[in-house]
Structures are given as C-alpha cells and as structure tokens.
Amino acid sequence: MGAMSRKEKGLWYLGALFIVLYALLPVAWIVSLSFKAESDLANRSFLPTNATGENYSGIFSGDGAELFLPALRNSVIVCLVATVIAVVLAMFAAYAIARLDFPGKRLVLTSALAVAVFPVITMVTPLFNLWRQIGLYDTIPGLVIPYLALTLPISIWTMSAFFRGIPWDMEQAAQVDGATSWQAFRKVIVPLAAPGVFTTAIIAFFIAWNDFVFGISLTSTSRAQPVPAALSSFTGSSYFVQPTGAISAAAVIVTIPVVLLALVFQRRIVAGLTNGAVKG
C-alpha cells in the first residue's frame, strides 16, 4: 500500500472529499432550513435570506415547546433505559456465547438473528392490543420493552464478537488461582470487555433513537411520545400552516447528540460495527 503513485493518492483524496460532501450536504440543508423564517421557507434556495433563530425559540419556549420538550425527555429516558437493559442482558448472553459451551447456544444466536430481521410492523398490532389491555399503552415501559427487540440482537452479536477477541488465558489463570467462573468474569473480564460494552451501548442507543414505528403506534400523547413520532405531529403557527421550520429545528436538535457521539467515538463505532458484523 505504501507504493501509491501521486496521481493515485490524489484520486483517493478526491474520493474522500466526495464522501464528506455526500455525508454532510443533507444535514447542512436541514440546518439551513431550520434558520429560515416562516416567510423565507419558500425562497427555493439552499441558504436562508436572513438567518433567524425563531424556529428554535418556537420549539424551546414557544408553541412547539409543549410538544417538543416532553418528547425530548421521553426519547432520552426510553432510549437510555432500553440501552442499559439491552446492554446488560446482552453482556451476560454474549459472555455465555463467547466463552461457555452449552446446549442451545446456536438457538440463542439464531433467535437473535431472527428478531433482527423480524418486520417491526408485525409486532405493532398485537403489542398495541396487549398494551391497552394491561395499561402499558402510552407509557415509558410500553416503549422500553419493544425497544429491547431492536437493541438486544445487535448488542448480542457485537459483544460476542468483542468478547471473542479478549485474551481468555487471563481468565483461566484467575480460575487456576482459585476464582470461580463468576469471579473470573467479574474481576478479569469485565475491565477488559468494558470498551466493547461501551461501543455496543452507543450502537444500541443509535438504533433505539432511530425508532419511528413503535413511537407512533404505541404512544399518543406527550406522556410517552418520543421525538421522531412527535416530529410527524408538529403543527404550524395555524392549523393549516405547514410546520416546516419547527420540524427542521427539532430535527437538528435530535441530530446533535447522535452526531456528537459519532464524532467523539468514531473509531470505536467503526470497530464495533465492522467487528460484530463480519468476522471470518
């Protein structure tokens, strides 16, 4: 690879520039929209004529606040709780898969696979029916539970892959020193596995944050409605006015945390996604 000609190198750099443009243009567009005044939204150009913060003040303190702020709170709570539960459960499962030999190991992995490809919409109706009978409809736990179906499978794979890469001799050494399997797991493996667990948590959080189907189907008010669902029920300054500006501003706000995570933990996330997914 060291033997790259100057021309070749230039070409790859051009490619890199293209990637950056590709990735950032649509995001830049929605940011630009969010700074357009209501009368400026139809200016048909990429940039606002005069940038204004009115859309942001609208969703944080104006008419939209009543809808947006609770939704933001719900999203944060639901996604964090779902991520934590999924990562903890997946951590145990992944340890068992990577380290232990037990009948049904393949079954666990296969069912994780099956759940990952399961059409989400199929889950919605029966869950909706069950939830309204047992009072989980439009509640935080009513969203956390189905979110586990989204976050658990990928957590199990990603972490199994990480755990396989851990030097297990150290665990065996600990066991020889008299520690039980459990102690070996806790004292030796947990610190080694922490980066993998952390990466998995970020990926699981991304997936939970992205959900839309459960959000619009299993909630109905600001009691539990997450942001993506709230976005689609935003309203303009009057009943018939399109809430383009407010939606754009809210979209930018919900994009900030995930983009920050991506920026800060880029290396880990790339490693997590590639490790967990393909390993020959």
Partner 1 sequence: MSSTTTARAGATAAGPGGRKGKVRATDRARAEARLGWYLAGPAFVILVGVTGYPILQALYESLFSFRLTAPADREFIGLRNYGVILTDSLWWSAMGNTVLITVVTVAVELVIGFALAMVMHKVLGWLRPVVRTAILVPYAVITVVSAYAWQYAFGLTTGFMNAVLPFVGADFDWFANKWTALTVICLSEIWKTTPFISLLLLAGLAQVPDDMLEAAKVDGATARERLFRVTLPNMKASIMVALLFRALDAFRIFDNVYIMTKGAAGTETLSALAYNQTISRLEIGLGSAVSVLLFLCVLVICFIAIKVFGVDLARARGES
Partner 2 sequence: MAGHWRTRVGTVSVGLLLASTLGACGSGSASTGTPTLNWYINPDNGGQATIAAACSEASNGAYTIETSILPSQAAAQREQLMRRLAGNDTSIDLMSLDPVFVPETSEAGFLAEIPADLQQRLSDGVVDGAVQAATWKGRLVAAPFWANTQLLWYRKSVAQAAGLDMTKPVTWQQLIDAAKAQDTAIGVQGTRAESMTVWVNALIASAGGEVIENPEAKGPDIRLGLDSDAGRAAAQVMEQITAAGVAGPGIDNRDESATANLFQQDGADFMVNWPFVYAQAKSAAEGGTMDAAVFEDYGWTTYPEVVAGTPSAPPLGGIDIGVSAFSEHRAEAFEAVQCIVSQENQAAYMLSDGNPAALTAVYDDPAVQADFPMAETIRQSLEQAAPRPQTAYYNEVSQGIQDRWQPVSEVTGSTPAASGEFIGQVLRGEKLL
How many residues comprise the chain?
A: 280
Q: Which of 48, 237, 268, 271 binds partner 2 (CB under 8 A)?
A: 237
Q: Which of 186, 187, 223, 279 binds partner 1 (CB under 8 A)?
A: 279
Min separation Cβ 222 and partner 1, Å: 17
Specify the stretch interacting with partner 1 by CB under 8 A; choose among 59-67, 93-101, 169-177, 188-196.
93-101
Q: Which helix (H) or strand (E) holds 92?
A: helix 65-99
Least Cα distance to 189 among 101, 277, 100 occurs for: 100
Determine contact, residues 23/226, Cβ cutoff 8 Å: no
Judged by beta carbon distances under 5 to 8 A according to partner kind, the member of partner 2, partner 1, none in contact with residue 126 is partner 1
233 near partner 2 (CB under 8 A): yes
User: How far is it, in rounded angstroms, from Cα 91 to Cα 192?
Assistant: 13
Beta carbon nearer to partner 1, 235 or 255: 255
107: amino acid identity, one letter: L
Q: For the chain, what is the largest distance between any 2 Cα atoms, rounded to a whole number of angstroms?
A: 74
Q: Which of 56, 131, 137, 209 binds partner 1 (CB under 8 A)?
A: 209
Please state the separation of Cα 237 from the chain's center in Å: 31
Least Cα distance to 214 among 111, 88, 112, 75 occurs for: 75
Exposed, middle or buried: residue 84 (CB in 10 Å: 0-12, 13-18, 19+)? middle
User: How far is it, in rounded angstroms, from Cα 178 to Cα 181?
Assistant: 10
Beta carbon nearer to partner 1, 128 or 168: 128
139 near partner 2 (CB under 8 A): yes
Window 100-129: residues binding partner 1 (CB under 8 A): 100-109, 111-129
Specify the stretch interacting with partner 2 by CB under 8 A; choose among 18-26, 125-133, 190-198, 207-215.
125-133
Q: Which of 10, 53, 130, 135 binds partner 1 (CB under 8 A)?
A: 130
Q: Which of 15, 53, 104, 141 binds partner 2 (CB under 8 A)?
A: 141
User: How far is it, in rounded angstroms, from Cα 2 to Cα 150?
Assistant: 42
Q: Which of 59, 79, 91, 142 binds partner 2 (CB under 8 A)?
A: 142
214 near partner 2 (CB under 8 A): no
Specify the stretch interacting with partner 1 by CB under 8 A; choose among 134-142, 169-177, 192-200, 247-255.
247-255
26: amino acid identity, one letter: P
Whole-angstrom CA distances from 108 to 113, 148, 181, 189 are: 9, 15, 21, 22
Whole-angstrom CA distances from 147 to 159, 210, 214, 263, 269 are: 18, 10, 8, 24, 20
Window 16-45: residues binding partner 2 (CB under 8 A): 37, 39, 42
Window 138-167: residues binding partner 1 (CB under 8 A): 145-146, 148-149, 152-153, 156-157, 160-161, 164
# of chain residues touching partner 1 (CB under 8 A): 106
Window 65-104: residues binding partner 2 (CB under 8 A): 66-67, 77, 81, 85
Applying CB under 8 A, the residues found at the interface with partner 2 are 37, 39, 42, 63, 66-67, 77, 81, 85, 128, 132-133, 135-142, 144, 220-224, 232-243
